[in-house]
Amino acid sequence: MAAAAHEPEVIRDKAVMRAWSRCRRAEGKAVALVPTMGFLHDGHLSLVSAAVAAAAGPVAVVVSIYVNPSQFAPTEDLATYPSDFAGDLRKLAATGAVAAVFCPPDLYVRGRAGHPAAGASGGAVSCLEDAGGHAHETWIRVEQLEKGLCGSSRPVFFRGVATVVSKLFNIVEPDIAVFGKKDYQQWRVICRMVRDLDFAIEIVGTEIVREADGLAMSSRNVHLSCEEREKALSISRSLMNARTAVLNGNNHGQQLKDEIVQTLKEAGGQVDYVEFQSLTFSLD
Domain harbouring 192, CATH code:
3.40.50.620
Number of independent structural domains in the chain:
2
> pLDDT-based confidence at 245, cuts 50/70/90?
very high
Q: Which strands sit side by side in the sheet containing 30-36, from one edge to the other?
A: 9-11, 98-102, 59-65, 30-36, 176-180, 202-206
Assess if residue 68 is contained within a domain.
Answer: yes
Q: For this structure, is 115 an active site residue? A: no
Tell me which of 41, 44, 134, 223 is the catalytic residue. Answer: 44
Same domain, 186 and 243: no
Cα angle at 216 between 213 and 217, to 5 degrees?
105
| 32 neighbors 51 (Cβ within 8 angstroms) | yes
Cα angle at 160 between 21 and 177, to 5 degrees?
35
By the 10 Å C-beta count (0-12 exposed, 13-18 middle, 19+ buried), 216 is classed as: middle
What percentage of residues in the chain have a pLDDT greater than 90? 80
| 99 neighbors 8 (Cβ within 8 angstroms) | yes
Full domain range(s) for residue 21: 9-206
Is the pLDDT reported for residue 281 higher than 50? no
Q: What angle do helix axes 253-266 and 226-247 make, rounded to 10 degrees?
A: 160
> pLDDT-based confidence at 130, cuts 50/70/90?
low
Distance separating alpha carbons of residues 2 and 56, to the nearest angstrom: 20
Distance separating alpha carbons of residues 88 and 40, to the nearest angstrom: 6
Distance separating alpha carbons of residues 278 and 255, to the nearest angstrom: 11
For the whole model, what pTM was predicted?
A: 0.89
Assess if residue 216 is contained within a domain.
Answer: no
Mean pLDDT, residues 211-224 taken together? 96
Q: What was the pLDDT predicted at 276? A: 76
Distance separating alpha carbons of residues 95 and 49, to the nearest angstrom: 9
Same domain, 163 and 202: yes
Same domain, 229 and 192: no
Assess if residue 1 is contained within a domain.
Answer: no
The residue out of 143, 177, 206 marking a domain boundary is 206
Residues 38-73: tens digit of each pLDDT: 999 999 999 999 999 999 999 999 999 999 999 999
Side-chain half-sphere CA neighbours of 141 within 13 A: 10
Output the CA torsion sign for 196, 199, 204, 208. negative
